[in-house]
Structure formats: structure tokens, C-alpha cells
Structure 1
């Protein structure tokens, strides 16, 4: 197996990680749909070979319309890399404001919408893959990052629930597991963009049963 010829959606593709993932996937022969809120910021991934879709992934109706467009013009999705994120924190526990929490919560909301609307696609694929980026803060939360750690912990719980759904679907159909949901934990993505991109592309070279419901810690390859 490989990612060649497969349709992969990158949610939150306007970051450096989105560009690195686009380059790795296109180089491996995948078809990439890059999704972001700002068309201008999607230009680098388009130049790298992706098709672009502008969408507010926190808007459930907009995500449904996005899926309809992709299905009509590209076909069924085989993979989703969720990169929607951001950071707000500091100020100890008293500094964990509702405004900051609502901002961070947008990442979880977008994951919920995207994973639900493309769940049937990933389950129908002979090698469906979902990957999310979490944080080492989940294992060691700090008072000044409590909002962030809480949202990342919820993100991991959601991704693991997706993994359980994949496994149950395979059992109920009496078929081998073909879809996998994977969590990547990082302290920071700075300097790890290419490593994350390659790890994600390589998910298609490994059987789903070996990677479904796994947590992979990514560290700086130079260390």
C-alpha cells in the first residue's frame, strides 16, 4: 500500500505544517485538497500541487457543503490530516479566560465537523486514515496552559472515539480493519513540519490494525 493515487484532505492547511504535508503527499503521488479560511494564504499549497477549498471548519453547514463539493469534483476522501490549532495561555489558572478557551475550542469543533462528515468515506476506503496533532501538555498540563491542555485532551478523546468506531465497523462487517485514527503529540511543531508530513504519508504503508488508536510522540529529529 501507499498514499499514491489517494485523495487526502488537509484541514487547516495554511500553516507551515500544511505546506510541508502538501509537498510530501503530492511528491508521493497523492491528490490533496487543502482547506483554510483565507484564499490568499492557500496560494503556497496550490503552488505545491494541491487544490484549494475555502471553508470555515467551525461552521457545521459549511463543512457539509464542503464535503458535497469534494465528492462532486474529486470523489471519496481516503485521508484527513487535521492541523487546525493555535495557542493562547499564560497568567496561571486565573488567566485562563473564557475568550481564550472559546478560541482554542474552535480546533476541537472543526475536528468534530470534519471527522463526522467524512467518516463514511474513511470507513469505505480500503485504507482510510485520520490524523490529529495534539500536545505533550496533555500528559503534563500546566496551570498557565489549562485551557490549551483541556482542549487537546478532548481532541485526543475524540480521535480515539473515531478509532473505536473504525474497529467496531470492521468487526460488525466481519472484515479486516482498513481505517485508522492516529494521534501525534508534539511539544511544538516548529522544526517538525517535515517529520509530521512524512509520518502521515507513511501511514498508508502500514496496516491499519498496527496504527489505529495509537499515540505517537514526535521529537526533533536533530536531537
Structure 2
């Protein structure tokens, strides 16, 4: 048995985690003893993680049925980090195109699918943690990034709802809350990737709360 605050024997899914940030987070988690599964749709990018000894799962996170199958087959799960996103913007309010909105909103779809599929596994964990990387623009939206900020705000709302779900489950089962959520707000992820990775690896150091923690790293 492991203490709820340690990562030894904890299993964590990085959903969409094949970026350089995912690489840093995966290594930070493994450095503290976690077993890391990396999911994404690029076999080339996944191969890098597989070659480094991580479990790799090829799946398109925007396809609900595929995500259900992939996540449902993982077995016990203690952490979920949907690491999806990307920037599109510029041109003020008139420049907020439908094409950019569609591309950006795929990140929200991926978060929804991953969280929904992982929920039964996370609920069964004695120390579940969920975390996402968001943006400081949620607190101060800019005209040129209206689409981007709106999608990030929606993702934050979803994660806050996940935290509430953990709280309600604990209340209904008459037990202490075991699951918790964290939102990391950044300006440029590349500038703080090591801090974000350390924060992700430290998720289990914090007791769960009925609302998602917001950590600003900018």
C-alpha cells in the first residue's frame, strides 16, 4: 500500500501528452515513482515515449468511442492530465474566425472525452488527481485571443465541475474526499514548462478540495 501523497505505484494518464511539455511532465512524474501512460494520435511522437519506457496508447481524443475504449482498457488509474491545446488568434474581435474556433474547441472536446471516460477509474482511486494547463488570459481576455480565452475558460469550468463531482461522490458515500483537481494558468507554457512539470508531479502533495486549485505560473 502507498500513502495517498506519494506517487509510487500511482498510474497517471497524459492525454494528448506527446508535446515537449508532455515529455517534461512524464519524466517528472516517473521521477517520483509514478507509472505514466501517454496517449495521443501521432504514432511518430508516441514512439519517442515508448522508446523511453513509457506506456503509449494511440487514440484520437476527439473521437468519443475511441477514447472510451482506450481509457476503459487501462485498468486502475490515479491521475489524469489532459495536455491539449494550441494557440490561434490575432486580428481583434473581427479576426476571431470560425475556423480558429473549431480548431481550438477540439481541445475542449478532448478534455471532455478524456475526463468522462476516466471518471469511473478515478472515482475508484484512493487518491485521484486531475490537472490541466490553462492560460492567464482566462482572467484577462484580450480581443485578439477571444476564441482562445473562451475555450480555456470552458476547460476550466469543466475541471471545476470535476472537482465538484469528487466532492459530491465523497458526500454521498459518507467518506473523505479522495479526488482533487488543479488548474495551472500560464502565459507562455514553454517559459515555465519545468515549473509546470514539477507542479504536476506535486499534485499528490496537496489535499483534495471541493473546488479546483488555481495555480498561476507566469
Question: Under a length normalisation based on structure 2, what TM-score does the superposition of the two structures give?
Answer: 0.95
Match of 1:150 in 2: 150
Asked if 1:9 is matched to 2:13, the reply is: yes
Segments of 5+ residues of structure 2 without an aligned counterpart are: none
CA contact (8 A) 1:93 1:144 kept: yes
Q: CA RMSD in A?
A: 1.2
List aligned pairs for 1:65-76, cutoff 5 A: 65-70=69-74, 75-76=75-76
- SS for the counterpart of 2:184 is strand
Segments of 5+ residues of structure 1 without an aligned counterpart are: none
Aligned mates of 2:55, 2:203 — CA distance in 1: 22
Match of 1:81 in 2: 81
CA contact (8 A) 2:25 2:196 kept: yes
Q: Residue deviations 1:126-159, cap 9 Å, x none?
A: 1000001110011111111000000001011110
> Size of the alignment, in residue pairs?
214
Match of 2:110 in 1: 110
Q: CA deviation at 1:175?
A: 0.4
CA contact (8 A) 2:72 2:117 kept: no
Match of 2:47 in 1: 43
Q: Residue deviations 1:14-46, cap 9 Å, x none?
A: 111100011111111111110111011122222
Question: Under a length normalisation based on structure 1, what TM-score does the superposition of the two structures give?
Answer: 0.92
Match of 1:165 in 2: 165
